[in-house]
Chain A
Amino acid sequence: MNEFQNILSETIERLLSDHVTKEVVQAAEEGTWPSALWNALEENGLTRLMVSEEKGGADGTWADALILLRAQGRHAAPVPLGETLLASWLLSNAGLDVPEGPLTLLNDVTLAGQDGAWKLSGTAVHVPWGRNATFGVAVLEGPDGVTYVARTPLAETKKSHELNIAREPRDTIQFDGVSVEAAPCQLPGNLPKNLQVWGALMRSSLMAGGLEYLQSQTVQYANERKQFGKPIGKFQAIQQQLAVLATQAAAAGAIAAHACEAASSDVDCSFEVAVAKTRIDEAVNISTSIAHQVHGAIGFTYEHNLHLVTRRLWSWRAEFGSGREWAAKLGREAIVRTSEGEGDTLWRYVTSR
């Protein structure tokens, strides 16, 4: 980590340790917006990490964002920090103004009209924190075939409130040809202009953080909980399970870092993101199961903290394409490359990335 990343890491860790208590997360699950937490993130400039310096941001890279996202995942911070980082990055690169407050991402909407008179229509479903966000941001194709970034205020929209299994808002929002601001999507280098890719990278990074929590929490529990006269972590059966959890968390961390590194170097990182989402989904499947098995009945109670992270992991793995959907894309591309190429096309491709 460089100097800036060290500061980022210390700042977010301190801030989330102070503000993300069990009470705050549970209150958020009952519908209370954690304003103190959000304000602290904004006041420290963290929500504008990926905005250009001229627009008041820090011009951060995805490798920098990973630090914040892992921390958010570790702490189960109940705010759309990832969505805001991503949305503000898209806006900033497109030359659009970056509004204050939490931002969110819109899918399933369409853009009509022309420069200066853009209209947004459609029903955006499962909009993260739709009821709390000030603006929604979409990446979508315009009538002229160009990929645009559009932003629209959400205060006056028609919403139906829904929750995912982590009890985070995933609202449905109706757009009826509302006027929006839009500009052609511009990203550095050959970065893909595809919200699904960036959402998958953002969720993958959060999940890598969540898995770090599962590792440390489960090890700690195994060292504290005594049965048969000793801590259960002294039993080989438990040790072997925890070792498996640690290898899965390590794999997730490694591939999240690799994908964010690729995204930071302005190359088309769709492949790396597909790999990360595929691999991390599997790590989540294995690790959540081990963490709950080791915790026993107490981990199944609402009282215990474990589910604050495991329920988020189960929600996030389903968003922006499941691992299996991304894997199918990876597999098809590899089979096509082999059909069309000569020799070991897979190895040449993997080592050329």
Chain B
Amino acid sequence: MHNFRFDPCRLPLEAEELRGEVRTFLKEALVGIPPVVRAQTWSGYDPAFSKKLGQQGWIGMTWPKKYGGHERTALERYVVLEEMLAAGAPVGAHWIGDRQSGPLLLNFGTEAQRQKILPQAARGDILFCIGMSEPDSGSDLAATRTKAEKVADGWLVNGTKLWTSNAHNAHYMIALFRTSSNPDNKHAGLTQFLVDLTIPGISIRPIKDLTGNAHFNEVVFEDVFVPDDMVVGEEGNGWAQVTAELAFERSGPERYLSSYLLLGELIRELARRGDKSADAEVGRLIAHLVTLRQMSLSVAGLLEAGENPILEASVVKDLGALYEQELPVKAHELANVEPMIGTGSDYGQVLGFLSQASVSFSLRGGTREILRGIIARGLGLR
């Protein structure tokens, strides 16, 4: 059985100093953005804001300087992320590149890919999307069917990616394609590609979600030519690379803070109403917040130590999504309002938005059932 490790992680002094800088910056940068917009946090798309963060040196913070990074520690980066999320900064545009596409290229990309892409990504000029899911490949990621066939000097791609967040805004997709098929081993024969989304044959169709926003897309590839130098890592090694990438995708503070703004609004609402009957429920939500933050910090500590805490990250994401989904339910129970679109109090609007959006929090980035399957494997049950 895996020994789940959540040792206390104390933030170093320089990280705490940085926290002050981030708060000063955000105080000015977020003026005039209403709570209901800030509640979108890392789904909030604002490329101008991302460029400002790039100028601050807060994208690609841990990357080597020679690729436009800033060689800060994972814990300093953690502080920047949690401050952005707690304040509801619109960080969605660069989030994917900073969190996983950049690190993926650092780990597996060619020197040319790194030099071309990473400095621009760290400035907030290049935005990424992740092409993993497909119409018939959701939780069963290895069922990927979008095919890349070898042709002279490159690959010919046909197929469809689905639920691709921000594909309509992104410059590049990190895509998982099938480059060979072996009926006995579906994990083999998968390869990652860096796909320039402006090349011919790619059509991107936004899909409106139930909140009325269109964050995600269907991306269709029809005889799309991708040159050889856009293969990321080794041909056929896609499964191992994607698995490593998912550790980054699942390990951050965004996996428990997506509804955080509502907790602040709820407490303000209860203070305004002078209601003491909800004290214990609010205290319980705070206890969960503090516990999740410590667990999330502990994962950041393991990442900083160069470990691959995929199991610990799955634990935090599972508990974190439960928490993010419980917040709107509790808010509804403790301080009822009839949620409206565009009218009513800030509290009501944030509650209304998160009541709708939060059902997706245990789907995106790996469903609850998949995460629990991973944890069960760690326990030695599979």
A residues apposed to B, CB below 8 Å: 215-216, 219, 222-223, 233-234, 236, 238-240, 242-244, 246-247, 249-251, 253-255, 257-258, 261, 272, 274-276, 278-279, 282, 323-332, 334-336, 338-339, 344, 346-347, 350-351, 353
Q: Is there a chain A Cβ closer than 8 Å to B290's Cβ?
A: yes
| A234 to B376 alpha-carbon distance, docked (Å) | 10
Contacts of B271 in A (CB 8 A): 335-336, 338-339
Q: Is there a chain A Cβ closer than 8 Å to B107's Cβ?
A: no
Complex contact B264–A344 (CB within 8 A): yes
Binding site of B, secondary structure by majority: helix, strand, loop or mixed? helix
> In chain A, what residue has the closest Cβ to B285?
A331
Q: Can you list 16 contacts pairing A with B, beta carbon distance less than 8 Å?
A: A239-B372, A242-B376, A243-B375, A246-B379, A253-B4, A254-B291, A255-B287, A255-B290, A257-B6, A275-B286, A279-B287, A279-B288, A326-B283, A327-B284, A347-B260, A347-B264
Complex contact A331–B290 (CB within 8 A): no
Q: In residues 360-382 of chain B, which contact A (Cβ within 8 Å)?
A: 369, 371-373, 375-376, 378-382
Residues A327 and B315 in contact in the complex (CB < 8 Å), given A246-B375, A350-B293: no
Q: Which of B1, B270, B298 contacts A216 (CB 8 A)?
A: B1
> In chain A, what residue has the closest Cβ to B260?
A347
Lowest 8 CB-CB distances: which A-B pairs, in order?
A: A327-B283, A330-B283, A331-B283, A331-B282, A243-B372, A331-B279, A254-B6, A239-B376
Shortest CB-to-CB span from B15 to chain A, Å, is: 11
| A173 to B245 alpha-carbon distance, docked (Å) | 61
Residues A329 and B283 in contact in the complex (CB < 8 Å), given A239-B372, A250-B4, A334-B267: yes
| A349 to B218 alpha-carbon distance, docked (Å) | 43
Complex contact B381–A222 (CB within 8 A): yes
Q: Which of B1, B82, B298, B373 contacts A236 (CB 8 A)?
A: B373
B residues apposed to A, CB below 8 Å: 1, 4, 6-8, 10, 19, 82, 86-87, 260, 263-264, 267-268, 270-271, 276, 278-284, 286-295, 298, 312, 315, 318-319, 369, 371-373, 375-376, 378-382
Shortest CB-to-CB span from B374 to chain A, Å, is: 8
Complex contact A338–B369 (CB within 8 A): no
Contacts of B371 in A (CB 8 A): 243
Complex contact A331–B288 (CB within 8 A): no
> In chain B, what residue has the closest Cβ to A245?
B379
| A330 to B263 alpha-carbon distance, docked (Å) | 14
Residues A275 and B287 in contact in the complex (CB < 8 Å), given A250-B295, A328-B280: yes
Q: Which of B86, B282, B372 contacts A240 (CB 8 A)?
A: B372
> In chain A, what residue has the closest Cβ to B8?
A261
Contacts of B287 in A (CB 8 A): 255, 274-276, 278-279, 282, 323, 326-327, 330
| A222 to B379 alpha-carbon distance, docked (Å) | 11
Residues A338 and B286 in contact in the complex (CB < 8 Å), given A219-B380, A328-B280, A344-B87: no
Complex contact A250–B6 (CB within 8 A): yes
Q: Which of A257, A278, A347 contacts B283 (CB 8 A)?
A: A278
Contacts of A328 in B (CB 8 A): 279-280, 283
Q: Which of A223, A244, A279 contacts B381 (CB 8 A)?
A: A223
Binding site of A, secondary structure by majority: helix, strand, loop or mixed? helix
> In chain A, what residue has the closest Cβ to B263?
A346
Shortest CB-to-CB span from B324 to chain A, Å, is: 15
Shortest CB-to-CB span from A139 to chain B, Å, is: 24
> In chain B, what residue has the closest Cβ to A215?
B379
Contacts of A350 in B (CB 8 A): 286, 289-290, 293
> In chain A, what residue has the closest Cβ to B282?
A331
| A223 to B382 alpha-carbon distance, docked (Å) | 10
Shortest CB-to-CB span from B287 to chain A, Å, is: 4
| A155 to B289 alpha-carbon distance, docked (Å) | 46
> In chain B, what residue has the closest Cβ to A282?
B284
| A140 to B315 alpha-carbon distance, docked (Å) | 42
Complex contact A234–B86 (CB within 8 A): no
Contacts of A216 in B (CB 8 A): 1
| A338 to B166 alpha-carbon distance, docked (Å) | 36
Residues A251 and B283 in contact in the complex (CB < 8 Å), given A223-B380, A246-B375, A346-B264: no
Among A216, A234, A328, residue most surrounded by chain B Cβ atoms (within 10 Å): A328
Contacts of B270 in A (CB 8 A): 335
Complex contact A346–B298 (CB within 8 A): no
Complex contact B8–A351 (CB within 8 A): no
> In chain A, what residue has the closest Cβ to B82?
A351
Contacts of B267 in A (CB 8 A): 334-335, 338, 346
> In chain A, what residue has the closest Cβ to B6?
A254
Complex contact A331–B264 (CB within 8 A): no
| A16 to B344 alpha-carbon distance, docked (Å) | 61
| A250 to B177 alpha-carbon distance, docked (Å) | 36
Contacts of B288 in A (CB 8 A): 279
Complex contact A332–B276 (CB within 8 A): yes
Shortest CB-to-CB span from B85 to chain A, Å, is: 10
> In chain A, what residue has the closest Cβ to B270?
A335
Contacts of B376 in A (CB 8 A): 239-240, 242-243
Among B19, B284, B289, B292, residue most surrounded by chain A Cβ atoms (within 10 Å): B284
Shortest CB-to-CB span from A218 to chain B, Å, is: 9
Shortest CB-to-CB span from B327 to chain A, Å, is: 13
